[in-house]
């Protein structure tokens, strides 16, 4: 199960997924909330609108950990590096109606 969550989280960093509203809609829960690195709050609608418009970005992921909070809830934490900028990331994934979806994400910039 942890391998599945790892693959799903990384897929959200993949340019092909980020540019596909269909894929994003499947991966992001309707009640999704994100607290972004810049201090903004996003919901599913805003994310589906903004991600496909992004230019391709290159990410490096380090220290990836999946913690099972229950059989249907997983916590993901990792460090994301993009062009030398590091941020601590956390996501919560929920298994509902036979699929995993992200319900929460937060990014915090670190030195």
Averaged pLDDT for residues 82-90: 94
Is pTM beyond 0.85 here? yes
The b/e string for 58-85 (b: 16+ C-beta within 10 A; e otherwise) is: eeeeeebebeeeeeeebebebebeeeee
Looking up residue 9, the CATH number of its domain turns out to be 3.10.450.50
Structural domain of residue 88, as residue ranges? 2-110
Split at pLDDT 50, 70, 90, the class of 79 is very high
pLDDT in tens, 43-76: 999 999 999 888 888 899 999 999 999 999 999 9
pLDDT higher than 90, residue 39: no
Count of structural domains, the chain:
1
pLDDT score for 16: 94
């Amino acid at each position: 199960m942890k391998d599945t969550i790892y693959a799903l989280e990384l897929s959200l960093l993949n340019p092909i997924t980020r540019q596909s509203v269909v894929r994003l809609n499947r991966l992001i829960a309707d009640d999704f909330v994100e607290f972004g690195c810049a201090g903004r709050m996003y919901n599913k609608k805003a994310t589906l609108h903004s991600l496909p418009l992004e230019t391709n970005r290159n990410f490096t992921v380090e220290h990836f950990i999946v913690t099972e909070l229950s059989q249907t809830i997983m916590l993901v934490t990792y460090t994301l590096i993009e062009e030398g900028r590091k941020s601590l990331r956390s996501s919560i994934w929920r298994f509902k109606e036979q699929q995993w979806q992200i319900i929460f994400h937060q990014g915090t910039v670190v030195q």
